[in-house]
Amino acid sequence: MTGAGKKAAPPRAVITNIQGFSIHDGPGIRTVVFFKGCPLACRWCANPECLSPEPQIGFIETLCTDCGECSQICAEGAIRGGKGVHRIDYSRCTSCGDCVDGCGYGALVRYGESMTVPDVWDIVRRDKMFYDSSGGGVTVSGGEPLLRAGFVRELFELCRQERIDTCIETCGLAARDALVEVIPVTDHFLFDLKLIDPKLHKTYTGQSSGIILENAAFLMERGVDIVFRQPLVPAITDTVENMEATAAFLKGSGKKDVSLELMPYHRMGRGKYRALDMRYLMDGTEAAGNERAEAVKKAYIDLGVRCTISR
């Protein structure tokens, strides 16, 4: 509880990256703010550094010269050095970042920094002229930004005051209160629909699709501007059953201008799995090529769904 006269601490969020000049995350040129922490753990996730809500240290083995400096610096004894056995013991690591600062070779990287709304605002506002000239704005992504709905609301209120367009990329697994909180300050939603079947969704993401589909229906009923997105993961999301179920769900909403954007699976996140000493579970799956993406797009159009491919 805050004492009389004391101001509540400003909300903070752990941010992994603030990326300017994006053209794939909503209309126009955008700055994308990546939040750390996600309620899902999709096997194909390309941003494994966004899964945990806490800052983490990654180790890029190919850049390491085995100089041993970091193991001297680490007060927790969390780094074991030496050729071929260089590892971070995450059970000891406090993510203080001292080793990152001490490594002269860029082999250690810090994923996530605790930031306030003004910290983020100071960065995203700098590109206002590009937003204005392109119809762009600010997109929050992750991870799952709706885990920090109060933060997003405050950030977007500032954007609104400066007439900056706002967009949320969400996995859809969020508390209803969080959605209600951000709707008044959000211009667009990019909403993931991965697998409709609840059991398959749980198998591949760790959670059922139930609440996600309810939230999707709720947003459509509220008449928000929404684009659904589906990762095109060969033999997982592009099955006939999932395409038919997705089409039925979207058409069943009664919303006329509903559209689906396919996000072809790629393997570019593999290096980050190695850096975080995490297992990459998709080694047997090839990236979704153009031909497959075009075939899936056509199948959706034949099912009566307006469909595009994200390039």
**Cβ contacts of 295 within 8 Å, gap of 6 or more:** none
Shortest Å distance, C-beta 273 to ligand SF4: 18
Shortest Å distance, C-beta 101 to ligand SF4: 9
Q: Does position 96 bind ligand SF4 by CB under 6 A?
A: yes
Dihedral-angle region of residue 87 (phi above 0 means left; psi in -120 to 50 means alpha; beta otherwise): beta
Q: Which of 98, 113, 162, 244 binds ligand SF4 (CB under 6 A)?
A: 98
Residue 53 is given by DSSP the state: S
Two structure tokens written together for 185 = 């300050």
Burial code (b: 16+ CB inside 10 Å, e: under 16) for 115-131 equals bbbeebbeebeebbebb
10 Å CB burial of residue 22 (0-12, 13-18, 19+) is: middle
Listing DSSP states for 201-244 in one string gives HHHHHSS-SHHHHHHHHHHHHTT--EEEEEEE-TTTTSSHHHHH
Q: Which of 51, 108, 140, 307 binds ligand SF4 (CB under 6 A)?
A: 108
Shortest Å distance, C-beta 115 to ligand SF4: 18
Q: Does position 304 bind ligand SF4 by CB under 6 A?
A: no
Shortest Å distance, C-beta 82 to ligand SF4: 9
Taking CB under 6 A as the criterion, which residues in 122-181 touch ligand SF4?
A: none
Shortest Å distance, C-beta 111 to ligand SF4: 11
**Cβ contacts of 309 within 8 Å, gap of 6 or more:** 261, 262, 264, 293, 294, 297
Binding segment for ligand SF4 (CB under 6 A), chosen from 28-36, 100-108, 112-120, 238-246, is 100-108
Taking CB under 6 A as the criterion, which residues in 46-85 touch ligand SF4?
A: 57, 64-70, 73-74, 76, 78-79, 81
Helix axes 117-124, 149-161, angle to 10 degrees: 40
For ligand SF4, the closer of residues 148 and 272 by Cβ is 272
Report the C-alpha gap between 109 and 276 in whole angstroms: 10
Shortest Å distance, C-beta 278 to ligand SF4: 16
For ligand SF4, the closer of residues 55 and 172 by Cβ is 55
Q: Contacts with ligand SF4: how many residues (CB under 6 A)? A: 26
Report the C-alpha gap between 31 and 21 in whole angstroms: 6
User: Per-residue string for binding with ligand SF4, 252-281, x by CB under 6 A?
Assistant: ------------------------------
List the one residue out of 172, 118, 120 whose CA is nearest residue 145. 172
Neighbours of 162 (CB within 10 A): 14
CA angle 129, 22, 51 (to 5 degrees): 130
Q: Does position 99 bind ligand SF4 by CB under 6 A?
A: yes
For ligand SF4, the closer of residues 20 and 77 by Cβ is 77
For ligand SF4, the closer of residues 100 and 220 by Cβ is 100
Shortest Å distance, C-beta 58 to ligand SF4: 10
Q: Does position 14 bind ligand SF4 by CB under 6 A?
A: no
> Does residue 250 sit in helix, strand or coil?
helix
Shortest Å distance, C-beta 54 to ligand SF4: 12
For ligand SF4, the closer of residues 79 and 159 by Cβ is 79
Shortest Å distance, C-beta 186 to ligand SF4: 35
Binding site for ligand SF4 (CB under 6 A): 57, 64-70, 73-74, 76, 78-79, 81, 88, 93-99, 103, 105, 107-108
